[in-house]
C-alpha cells in the first residue's frame, strides 16, 4: 500500500498538479486572447481602414486616408496592449498563486495520504457501483426494486447499465474538475473580436453556433466527421465543403460539434478564433422583391463576412441556391466567395440534391470538398440515447428503464426505416417520455414504447395479449368469412402472420412474400384485400401496381416509402420485364431496396403479394387430377416464365384452383350478405329466396373470367333494382323486403314491402 501511495503522490499527483498549473496559466492568456492580439498588434481597430480604390492622386485624400488609418492603428494598438497586460497579469496571478503548491507538493505526502485513501475508497467496481447507485439509478433502470431481483436480469443488461452509470458519473466528475482545459476553455475569451472586422448585417441574418441552441443536446459522437471537416477547413485552397447526408442523419450535430471544438480550442490552431455562423437564407431572400435585390443583399453579407476574416458560413439546403429551378440562382456569388481565402463555406445538402443540382455544376464543384454523413449504427444510437436521456427526464418526474430504451432503438429501426438514426430514435424517445408524463407514469417500460408504436402504425407490437392470441387462433376461420375455397392460400398466409406476430420469423425480410398463381376471378386479389383488413386493420392498407404496364420507379419508391405498413399487391407479375423482376430479388431476400440516390426503402413491415395468370390453362386442365404446387412450379420453370432465383425467394407459391359451381354459390351468398348489411344501416331488412343463389351463380360466372363478372351482375340487376324502388318510394325505413325470381319471366324482383 505504501508503494502504491508513493507512486500515486510522486507520479500521478505531480503530473496532475503541473497540468492544472499550466492550464490555469494558459487560461489567463486565452481569456484575454493574448497570442492573437500580439499577432495583430499593429492592425487597424476592428479592421476599419480606408483603402484607395479610385484612380489618380490627391494630396488631401492621401493625408486624410493616412491620418484615419493611423488613428485606427493607434486605437487598436492601445486597447490590445491593455488587454495583453491584463492577460499577462491574470496568468501571473495563477503562476504565483499555485507556485507554492507546485514547489511544496513533494513534501505534502502526509497530507495527501487522506486524499489518496478517500479516492481509493471511491472504487468503481461493479459491487461498489450497485451498492452506491443501486436504488438511485441501477435498479430503476432495470425495472426492479431490490438487489435480490438482479438474479432475474440478463447479465449483459446488468453490465451495460452499470457501464452507463459509470459513464454518467465520469462526466459529472470531469465537470467538477474546473482546472481541466476543456472546462476552462468553455469560457469565451475577451478581445478576439478586436482582431477581426465588424459584421452588423451578417449578425442580423445568422445564428452564432458558439452559443447553446435548442438542439445542442444532440451533441454526442461524430468525432470522425468533425475530423474530416477540420481536415478540409485547414487547407490553403479548396477549403470549403459540402456536408452531404439524409435529413435527420445529424448534419447540424456535426456543425455544432465543430463550433464547440473551435471554442474550446480542441482543434487545429489554424481554426482558433473562427466563428461558425448558420445563415438564415429565408430571412435574407424573403424580403427581396426582385432577384437582383436578393443577390445584392446576399453578396453584401458575404463580403462583410470576407472582410471580417474569421467567418465560417454554414448555408443550409445550399442546393436550392445553385440552380434557377427553385428560385434565385446564387451560383455566381457563391463561386466568387468560395474562391476567396478569407472566408470559408459549408453547404448542407442531401445525396439526391447533390447528384441532381450540385454535381453537374462544375463552376461550384471545383471549390468544394464532399464530406459524407452516414447514420450511426444501432449500438451508437443506443449510446447517444443513454447520454441524452437524463436531459429528457429532468424535471418531468419520470424514469425510463433500460429495456424501454433498447425497445426504442429496435422499434424505431423497424417501423421508422425511412428516417435515419439518430433522429428517429430521439423523436420516439421524446414522444414516449411526453406520453408518459401526460399519463402521469413514473416509470416508462418496454410495453409503453410498444403501445405508442401500435397506436401510430396500427400494427400490433410487443407481447401478445389474451384477446390477440384468440384472434390469431381464429385467423383461418376469419379469412374464410370473406374467401371461398382456396384453403392452401389461406393456410400459407395464416402461418406467415402467426410467425411474424410471435417473433419467430426473420426480422430483416418482409412479413411475407407470396406468389399467387391461378386463373382470373378465383379470389387472388380478394385474398390480398382480406389480408390488409385482417393484419393491418384496414382494407385501404394496400398499395397496388399493375405490372403489365412499365413500372414507374419514382412513383413506386414514393408509394413504398410513404406506406411502410401495407400489403404490396403486384398484379400480373409475369408481365414485368426481366430488369424489373430482378429489382425485387433483394426485396424478397433482404427486405430493402435502394432508390436512384442510394436511399434504403424498407419492406420489412409489408406483406408482398404477386399475382399471376401464368399456367392458368395448365392449372385448369390438371385440376381434376389433383395438381400439386411442385408440378406448377416445374411447369413455370420449364416455360421460363420466372427464374429459379426469383421463385426460391418467395415464402410460398400458392396455387388458386378454378372455382366449382358450389364455390360460386358461396361467393354469391357472401356478396348478398354484404348488400344486406349495407341496407341494414338504412333500417331496411333484406331477405333472399333460396332460388336466387344458384341463378346468380350461373349468370355471374364464366370459364374465362371466373367469378369476376359477379359484382357487375349484382350491381346491374340487384342493387339498381333496389335503388329504383327506394327512389319511387316503394321501399321505406323499417321495411322488410325479399329478393326473389319471377317464375314466368325469370327476372329478379323485390317483394314483401312494408
Which domain CATH number covers 673?
1.10.8.60
- Angstrom distance (rounded) from CA 542 to CA 529: 7
In a domain, 555, yes or no: yes
Q: What is the pLDDT of residue 627?
A: 66
For residue 136, what is the DSSP state? I
For the segment 651-663, what is each residue's pLDDT rounded down to a tens digit? 888 888 888 888 8
For β-strands 607-612 and 652-655, DSSP reports them as unpaired
For the segment 559-570, what is each residue's pLDDT rounded down to a tens digit? 998 898 899 999
In a domain, 532, yes or no: yes
In a domain, 605, yes or no: yes
| Between 123 and 43, the higher pLDDT residue | 43
For the segment 157-201, what is each residue's pLDDT rounded down to a tens digit? 999 999 999 999 888 888 889 999 989 998 888 888 888 999 999
Q: What is the pLDDT of residue 215?
A: 47
Q: Both 641 and 670 in a single domain?
A: no
Q: What is the pLDDT of residue 466?
A: 62
pTM as predicted: 0.79
Q: What is the pLDDT of residue 625?
A: 63
Last residue of a domain, one of 457, 475, 502: 457
Q: Both 537 and 605 in a single domain?
A: yes
| Between 213 and 124, the higher pLDDT residue | 124
pLDDT above 90 covers a percentage of the chain that reads: 55
Q: How many CB atoms lie within 10 A of CB 20?
A: 20
Average pLDDT, integer, range 709-720: 89
| Between 160 and 745, the higher pLDDT residue | 160
CB 524 within 8 A of CB 611: yes
Q: How many CB atoms lie within 10 A of CB 298?
A: 23
Q: Both 653 and 674 in a single domain?
A: no
Q: Both 73 and 160 in a single domain?
A: no
Q: Is residue 640 over pLDDT 80? A: yes
Last residue of a domain, one of 86, 115, 144: 115
State the first-to-last Cα distance of the chain, in angstroms, to the nearest integer: 104
Q: Both 482 and 579 in a single domain?
A: yes
- 425-429 contacts, C-beta under 8 A, 24 or more apart: 425/381, 425/382, 425/384, 425/385, 426/218, 426/384, 426/385, 426/388, 428/452, 428/453, 429/385, 429/388, 429/389, 429/392, 429/400, 429/405
The DSSP-derived string for 481-508 is: TT--S-HHHHHHHHHHHHHHHHT-S-TT
Lowest mean pLDDT among 249-253, 585-589, 633-637: 633-637
Average pLDDT, integer, range 141-151: 93
Q: Is residue 371 over pLDDT 60? A: yes
For the segment 440-499, what is each residue's pLDDT rounded down to a tens digit? 999 999 999 999 998 887 777 776 656 666 767 777 877 877 777 778 778 877 887 777
Q: Both 285 and 324 in a single domain?
A: yes
Q: Both 651 and 667 in a single domain?
A: no
Q: Residue 539 maps to which CATH number?
A: 3.40.50.300
Peptide bond into 146 cis (omega under 30): no
Q: Both 415 and 559 in a single domain?
A: no
In a domain, 611, yes or no: yes
Q: Is residue 217 over pLDDT 50? A: no
In a domain, 15, yes or no: yes
Q: What is the pLDDT of residue 302?
A: 95
| Between 289 and 343, the higher pLDDT residue | 343
Q: Is residue 326 over pLDDT 70? A: no
- Angstrom distance (rounded) from CA 716 to CA 102: 102
Q: Is residue 622 over pLDDT 70? A: no
- Angstrom distance (rounded) from CA 594 to CA 587: 10
In a domain, 382, yes or no: no
Q: Is residue 693 over pLDDT 50? A: yes
Q: What is the pLDDT of residue 595?
A: 85
Q: Both 643 and 528 in a single domain?
A: yes
E-assigned strand segments in 1-120: none
Which domain, by its residues, includes 672? 662-751
In a domain, 395, yes or no: yes
In a domain, 88, yes or no: yes
Q: Both 108 and 129 in a single domain?
A: no
Last residue of a domain, one of 657, 681, 711: 657
- Angstrom distance (rounded) from CA 250 to CA 375: 8
Q: What is the pLDDT of residue 463?
A: 66
Q: What is the pLDDT of residue 117?
A: 81
Specify the number of domains making up the chain. 6
| Between 317 and 523, the higher pLDDT residue | 317
Q: Both 541 and 675 in a single domain?
A: no
For residue 656, what is the DSSP state? P
Q: Both 106 and 140 in a single domain?
A: no
Beta partners for residue 207, in sequence order:
278
Amino acid at each position: 500500500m505504501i508503494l502504491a501511495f508513493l507512486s500515486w503522490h510522486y507520479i500521478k499527483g505531480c503530473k496532475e498538479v503541473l497540468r492544472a498549473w499550466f492550464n490555469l496559466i494558459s487560461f489567463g492568456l486565452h481569456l484575454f486572447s493574448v497570442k492573437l492580439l500580439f499577432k495583430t498588434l499593429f492592425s487597424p481597430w476592428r479592421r476599419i481602414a480606408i483603402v484607395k480604390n479610385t484612380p489618380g492622386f490627391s494630396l488631401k485624400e492621401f493625408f486624410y486616408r493616412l491620418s484615419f488609418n493611423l488613428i485606427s492603428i493607434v486605437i487598436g494598438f492601445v486597447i490590445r496592449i491593455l488587454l495583453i497586460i491584463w492577460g499577462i497579469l491574470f496568468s501571473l496571478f495563477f503562476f504565483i498563486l499555485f507556485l507554492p503548491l507546485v514547489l511544496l507538493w513533494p513534501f505534502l505526502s502526509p497530507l495527501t495520504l487522506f486524499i489518496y485513501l478517500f479516492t481509493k475508497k471511491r472504487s468503481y467496481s461493479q459491487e461498489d457501483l450497485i451498492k452506491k447507485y443501486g436504488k438511485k439509478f441501477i435498479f430503476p433502470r432495470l425495472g426492479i426494486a431490490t438487489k435480490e431481483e438482479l438474479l432475474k436480469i440478463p447479465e449483459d443488461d446488468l453490465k451495460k447499465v452499470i457501464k452507463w452509470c459509470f459513464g454518467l458519473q465520469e462526466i459529472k466528475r470531469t465537470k467538477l474538475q474546473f482546472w481541466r482545459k476543456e472546462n476552462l476553455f468553455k469560457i469565451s475569451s475577451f478581445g478576439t473580436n478586436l482582431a477581426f472586422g465588424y459584421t452588423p448585417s451578417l449578425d442580423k441574418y445568422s445564428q452564432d453556433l458558439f452559443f447553446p441552441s435548442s438542439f445542442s443536446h444532440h451533441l454526442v459522437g461524430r468525432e470522425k466527421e468533425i475530423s474530416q471537416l477540420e481536415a478540409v477547413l485547414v487547407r490553403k485552397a479548396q477549403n470549403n465543403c459540402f456536408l452531404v447526408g439524409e435529413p435527420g442523419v445529424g448534419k447540424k450535430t456535426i456543425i455544432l460539434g465543430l463550433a464547440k471544438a473551435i471554442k474550446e480550442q480542441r482543434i487545429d490552431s489554424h481554426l482558433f478564433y473562427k466563428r461558425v455562423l448558420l445563415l438564415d437564407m429565408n430571412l435574407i431572400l424573403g424580403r427581396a422583391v426582385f432577384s437582383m435585390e436578393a443577390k445584392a443583399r446576399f453578396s453584401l453579407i458575404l463580403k462583410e463576412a470576407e472582410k471580417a476574416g474569421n467567418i465560417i458560413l454554414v448555408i443550409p439546403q445550399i442546393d436550392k441556391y445553385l440552380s434557377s429551378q427553385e428560385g434565385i440562382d446564387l451560383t455566381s456569388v457563391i463561386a466568387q466567395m468560395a474562391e476567396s481565402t478569407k472566408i470559408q463555406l459549408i453547404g448542407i445538402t442531401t445525396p439526391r440534391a447533390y447528384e441532381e443540382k450540385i454535381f453537374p455544376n462544375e463552376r461550384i464543384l471545383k471549390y468544394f470538398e464532399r464530406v459524407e454523413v452516414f447514420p450511426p449504427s444501432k449500438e451508437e444510437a443506443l449510446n447517444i440515447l443513454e447520454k441524452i436521456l437524463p436531459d429528457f427526464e429532468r424535471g418531468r418526474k419520470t424514469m425510463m428503464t433500460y429495456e424501454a430504451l433498447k425497445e426504442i432503438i429496435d422499434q424505431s429501426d423497424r417501423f421508422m426505416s425511412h428516417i435515419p438514426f439518430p433522429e428517429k430514435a430521439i423523436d420516439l424517445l421524446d414522444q414516449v417520455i411526453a406520453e408518459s408524463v401526460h399519463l402521469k407514469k413514473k416509470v416508462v417500460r418496454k410495453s409503453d414504447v410498444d403501445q405508442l408504436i401500435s397506436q401510430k402504425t396500427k400494427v400490433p407490437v410487443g407481447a401478445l395479449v389474451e384477446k390477440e392470441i384468440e384472434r390469431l387462433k381464429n385467423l383461418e376461420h376469419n379469412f374464410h368469412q370473406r374467401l371461398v375455397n382456396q384453403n392452401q392460400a389461406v393456410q400459407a398466409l395464416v402461418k406467415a402472420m402467426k410467425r411474424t406476430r410471435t417473433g419467430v420469423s426473420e426480422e430483416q425480410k418482409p412479413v411475407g412474400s407470396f406468389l399467387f398463381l391461378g386463373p382470373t376471378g378465383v379470389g387472388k386479389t380478394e385474398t390480398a384485400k382480406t389480408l390488409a383488413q385482417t393484419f393491418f386493420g384496414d382494407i385501404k392498407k394496400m398499395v397496388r401496381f399493375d405490372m403489365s404496364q412499365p413500372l414507374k420507379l419514382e412513383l413506386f419508391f414514393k408509394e413504398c416509402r410513404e406506406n411502410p405498413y401495407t400489403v404490396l399487391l403486384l398484379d400480373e407479375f409475369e408481365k414485368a420485364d426481366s430488369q424489373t423482376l430482378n429489382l425485387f430479388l433483394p426485396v424478397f431476400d433482404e427486405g430493402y431496396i435502394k432508390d436512384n440516390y442510394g436511399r434504403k426503402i424498407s419492406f420489412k413491415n409489408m406483406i408482398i403479394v404477386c399475382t399471376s395468370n401464368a399456367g392458368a390453362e395448365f392449372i385448369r386442365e390438371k385440376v381434376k387430377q389433383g395438381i400439386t404446387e411442385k408440378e406448377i412450379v416445374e411447369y413455370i420453370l420449364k416455360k421460363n416464365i420466372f427464374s429459379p432465383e426469383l421463385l426460391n425467394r418467395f415464402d410460398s407459391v400458392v396455387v388458386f384452383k378454378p372455382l366449382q359451381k358450389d364455390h360460386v354459390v358461396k361467393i354469391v351468398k357472401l356478396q348478398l350478405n354484404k348488400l344486406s348489411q349495407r341496407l341494414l344501416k338504412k333500417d331496411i331488412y333484406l331477405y333472399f329466396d333460396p332460388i336466387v343463389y344458384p341463378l346468380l351463380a350461373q349468370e355471374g360466372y364464366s370459364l374465362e373470367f371466373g367469378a369476376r363478372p359477379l359484382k357487375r351482375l349484382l350491381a346491374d340487376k340487384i342493387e339498381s333494382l333496389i335503388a329504383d324502388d327506394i327512389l319511387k318510394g316503394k321501399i321505406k325505413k323499417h321495411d322488410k323486403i325479399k329478393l326473389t325470381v319471377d317464375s314466368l319471366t325469370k327476372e329478379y324482383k323485390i317483394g314483401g314491402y312494408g
